[in-house]
Amino acid sequence: MWLAASVSGWAVVHPVLNAPNVLTVKLPPCGTAMRRAKEHFDRAILPYLEAGLIDALDEQPLPCRSLRHDTHGNFFVMKGGSSTDPTKAKSSDLAWISVDDLDTWRAFRDIFEQTGVAEAVARLVSPLHRQVQLYSSFYVVRSHCTDTNWHADWPVGTGTSAWTLLAPLEPYDTSDFQLLYKDCAGVVHQYRYEEGEAILFGSHFMHSTEPGAARRGAAAPHAFLCFTFGSDDLGFYEEHVAPTISGYQSRILVAADGSVRLTEIGEYLEKDSALARSCQVVNTPLLV
Ligand SMILES: [Fe+2]
């Protein structure tokens, strides 16, 4: 990896992908982080997907609901369509399935710590006082995509101080329906997700889901473990991170100082308990 000066500070250029602010990290071998993430998914979430959850969300006043499991965590599903462009909402059945109480949040923080990525990015994160802070943990699932949606996950001022991680839960060997990205010259390439490898996005990294479809449709979507994390400086967080992740990707998240907060959709559902009930959303208290 090379470091290069950019208008907004330091940027990294990936030596193979030749693109800005993207890292690929080999994850610890099977039996550790990814196996635990897959176990939570298979036990607490997959049965709902097989029963048609993603399509059923369209029938609700808001396309979200809670999923509760006795032993493998509590989650909040939000169907997002295309994550950043409402006009492309129908081009994908993307959904975020986020941790939804503190116990589940802590279980996923353990998984995050096992991946070793906090250490991998620490020297790129500034300001950094104590440690790289985990903000949110979720799964991204999608079974089809008909149109590209080019975007960077973070605003330009974020640089390499906040990151999104994506790691596939299984090998997905479709020829398309992978990741498209633009290199430093603006040329489009395909990145193929690999089991055991995480890809990390900072600011400036332009990417899109590649159009395509999962072989077995919405009951067996491509599923990715996803973390957002970065600076533990509260001022940096409020300016650069909160505006990006405080909307509706999850109901709760954790700020740079470790405090648990409701997102905008979390506040909305808390204020309108009738709406929450009609969506099968449980407004779990933040502190338990
Ligand atoms: Fe993205």
Spatial distance between the Cα atoms of 72 and 182, rounded to a whole number of angstroms? 38
Q: How far is the CA of 173 from the centre of ligand 1 (A)?
A: 20
Q: How far is the CA of 152 from the centre of ligand 1 (A)?
A: 6
Task: Count CB atoms within 10 A of the CB of residue 258.
Answer: 11
All residues at 6 or more sequence positions from 147 whose CB lies less than 8 Å from its CB, including other chains: 82, 88, 91, 92, 211
Q: How far is the CA of 248 from the centre of ligand 1 (A)?
A: 15
Radius of gyration of the chain (CA): 18
The pair of structure tokens assigned to 9 is 């500070």
Alpha helices in the chain (DSSP H): 33-44, 46-50, 53-56, 102-115, 117-121, 234-236, 242-245, 264-271, 273-278
Q: How far is the CA of 45 from the centre of ligand 1 (A)?
A: 22
pLDDT in tens, the chain (288 residues): 444 444 444 589 999 999 999 999 999 876 689 999 999 999 999 999 999 999 999 999 999 999 999 999 999 999 986 556 667 667 899 999 999 999 999 999 999 999 999 999 999 999 999 999 999 999 999 999 999 999 999 999 999 999 999 999 999 999 999 999 999 999 999 999 999 999 999 999 999 999 999 999 888 999 999 999 999 999 999 999 999 999 999 999 999 999 999 999 999 999 999 999 999 999 887 754
Spatial distance between the Cα atoms of 280 and 130, rounded to a whole number of angstroms? 39
Q: How far is the CA of 29 from the centre of ligand 1 (A)?
A: 26
pTM for the complete prediction?
A: 0.93
What structural domains does the chain harbor? Answer: 2-278 (2.60.120.620)
Q: SS in 3 state form for 195-237?
A: CCEEEEECCCCCEEECCEECCCHHHCCEEEEEEEEECCCHHHH
All residues at 6 or more sequence positions from 116 whose CB lies less than 8 Å from its CB, including other chains: 25, 27, 28
